[in-house]
Structure 1
Amino acid sequence: MSPHLYRLPALFLYALFLALAPLAAAQQAAAPLPNVRILATGGTIAGTGASSTTTIGYTAAKVGVEALIAAVPELKKVANVSGEQVFQIASESMTNAHWLTLAKRVNALLAQPDVDGIVITHGTDTIEETAYFLNLVVKSRKPVVIVGSMRPSTAISADGPINLYNAVIVAGSKDAVGKGVLVVLNDQINGARDVTKANTSTLDTFRSPELGLLGYMQDNRAHFYRMSTRRHTLETEFDVSALEQLPAVDVVYSHANVSRVGIDAFVNAGDIGLVYAGVGDGSLAAQVRPALTEARRKGVVIVRSSRVGQGIVARNGEANDDELDFVVSDTLNPQKARILLMLALTKTRDTRAIQQMFYTY
């Protein structure tokens, strides 16, 4: 048999590839754009300054959602975008009531078949908290991306437009499905549970200092390299659809010469949960241990966290948590521990069950 006969299958396949390649390219070019809804809440991304060089001392939450969208005409090339102004506030003024309103709107939109993903524009000061709250209560695998900027829209080096553009791409990406709520700034994709604001003013402020970011934005694409192992969105037990308010929980910050005044004040004000942001491994100062113990006897659930910002708070490490009936925050920072404790208290006051939630979410 001629050796040329063995080449026929390969030649046939190559010819078939050449014939089908233009068709595949045409189909890809004709693929419908994803439908992405932008929910605007204010923040620096919607801020204005006195001049083009004003990057501090500006006024947040001045520009409306339609103007934000119009400022980035390239959005039309990557998604069918529509906007909605939910709030118009600086994020330091974000409240539990705002979170409930936002979560209910997000869930309502994600239930619609014509919405493929959501982008939330937000002030950077509390992005990590809003992101983690939504990470626990959104009931969909569709992407939810929170975005902001470190410089106002009027600055000559404003980072808002590129951040918004990247966020819309991620929200419309099939690769982002099922990865929980994401935070996108500075060409980086971070997960809601681990991300934190780490610098007061630089563009690279958002970090996941221990466990790392999830991916990067490059060439108009989301590139993911890891996923969180902690449960989120559809995998959680939390449902806010019927909630009108969240339980009263606050954070008590420890320091040298700390007193029990803050603890007593919060308990007297009616808190049913407290997060103690202790030094080191959540250590209890001698002068506050009695106050926390008394608060627990009154039914207040106590979570030991750490002001350090990294590391596991060890159960029965710096305190006998079993004996005191306290909960530890695992790796959650105090502000995120507060969020999980609030949601946990909508389900139970059993500290053993709540501790398991901290190891799950």
Structure 2
Amino acid sequence: MSCRGGPDAWARCSVRDEKIMTRVHILGTGGTIAGQGATDTSSSYRPGSVMIQQVIDSVPGLDQLAEVTGEQFAQVSSQDMNELLWQGLANRIDELFEAEAADGIVITHGTDTAEETGYFLHLTVKSSRPVVLTGSMRPATSLSADGPLNLYNAVSVAADLEARNRGVMLAINDDLHSARDVTKSSTTDVQTFISPGAGLLGTARLGRIRYYRRPVRRHTLNSIFTAGNEGRLPRVDVLYAHAGMSPDLVRASVSLGTRGIVVAGVGNGNVPGPVVHALREAVEAGVRVVRSARVGNGDVERGVELDDDALGFVVSDQLNPQKSRVLLQLCLAHHLDSSAVQNAFYQY
């Protein structure tokens, strides 16, 4: 059955109809959700130790949500996630949807880089069907492990027809985030994921889903970007700004062959004067420079304290440094000029 409206006209609620079983395929990549500790109260553990079928089998009731299948795509800690795995995931998802092998996809993933993987998929997957990342802050063997319920909720979203056309999502701790907006905000807190500024897409709790909004920026089928064949994406470095920052790191990055630099700037994406000069030199050498911000929320605007037009810089708009890097890599891989790169940051 399904319900819409209720006391809040903007909210929608859906519960799986037991007569219609959709097919959800789970791609396991490792992470804390597949982690194993020495005891149920140990703070140390080995991520990616439990195979995806064991993770699936540990969650009661999944078979009431959908026809669930699993696949061990990778088995890594998320700090070891990389562009080759991103491309492989995007291509595998497209392959499954093109073959009509799944109605929705869930990816179990470590939390450290889930927002980067999610945003890459948000920009490159070519389907309106739901793709939902999930993970956990506590390993599978932990007292009060959060992974099983997170996976249950993620499957419920991936199985829901109302989840289509919302891009790639992250379902975790009863919250539903857009992959574009979400970021990790705490090292250990279970409620670590937030969507600054934009807010939640909705909530997902025990299979009951409420949607608050849809993403307004371009994604998936409306994106010009593709994952491409599995090969290294253009190198883009992120440089963290601070008081007294030296321009040497900029010059080192250029000398080592970077194609792009994202600056995690102070305030509104600012850097010290000598660094501005070094970044201008980088632009003249053919390197794309994007000004983002280290503060975690707000827009980086063009021409506020720096003359971005004269300097040849791109501003990140709302994207944090790590997501700015993802978008810039794709822009470079698709050979966009500086003006088109700036437009991409406004559109995606």
TM-score, normalised on structure 1?
A: 0.90
1:167 maps to what in 2?
Answer: 154
Segment of structure 1 superposing worse, 330-339 or 67-76? 67-76
Between Structure 1 and Structure 2, which shows a larger proportion of helix residues?
Answer: 1
Question: Which of 217, 237, 254 is residue 250 of structure 1 equivalent to?
Answer: 237
Distance in 2, Cα, partners of 1:215 & 1:277: 29
- Number of aligned positions between the proteins: 333
- Give 1 or 2 for the bigger CA radius of gyration: 1
Matched, 1:333 2:307: no
Q: Which runs of 5 or more residues in structure 1 are unaligned?
A: 1-27
Q: CA deviation at 1:29?
A: 6.1
Could you tell me whether the CA contact under 8 Å between 1:284 and 1:319 is conserved in 2? no
Cα deviation, 1:122-159, whole Å, max 9, x if unaligned, reads 00000000000100000000000000000000012000
Using CA pairs under 8 Å that are at least 6 residues apart, name the structure with larger relative contact order, 1 or 2. Answer: 2
Segment of structure 1 superposing worse, 121-130 or 242-251? 242-251
Distance in 1, Cα, partners of 2:101 & 2:280: 52
Deviating 4+ runs (over 4 angstroms): none
Cα RMSD for the two superposed structures: 1.2
1:44 maps to what in 2?
Answer: 32
Cα deviation, 1:4-56, whole Å, max 9, x if unaligned, reads xxxxxxxxxxxxxxxxxxxxxxxx966231100000000000001111112x3
Question: Which of 258, 274, 277 is residue 271 of structure 1 equivalent to?
Answer: 258
1:32 maps to what in 2?
Answer: 20
Q: CA deviation at 1:162?
A: 0.2
Flag the 1:97–1:219 CA change in 2: closer, same or farther, 3 A. closer
Flag the 1:356–1:150 CA change in 2: closer, same or farther, 3 A. same
Could you tell me whether the CA contact under 8 Å between 1:37 and 1:82 is conserved in 2? yes
1:7 maps to what in 2?
Answer: none
1:188 maps to what in 2?
Answer: 175
Q: CA deviation at 1:184?
A: 0.5
2:342 maps to what in 1?
Answer: 355
Matches within 5 A, 1:1-361: 31-54=19-42, 56-242=43-229, 244-361=231-348
Flag the 1:29–1:309 CA change in 2: closer, same or farther, 3 A. closer
- The letter for the 2-side match of 1:33 is M
Q: CA deviation at 1:219?
A: 5.0
Could you tell me whether the CA contact under 8 Å between 2:242 and 2:271 is conserved in 1? no
Distance in 1, Cα, partners of 2:39 & 2:331: 46
Could you tell me whether the CA contact under 8 Å between 2:30 and 2:74 is conserved in 1? yes
Distance in 1, Cα, partners of 2:131 & 2:248: 40
TM-score, normalised on structure 2?
A: 0.93
- The letter for the 2-side match of 1:136 is L
Q: Percent identity?
A: 49
Distance in 2, Cα, partners of 1:202 & 1:327: 34
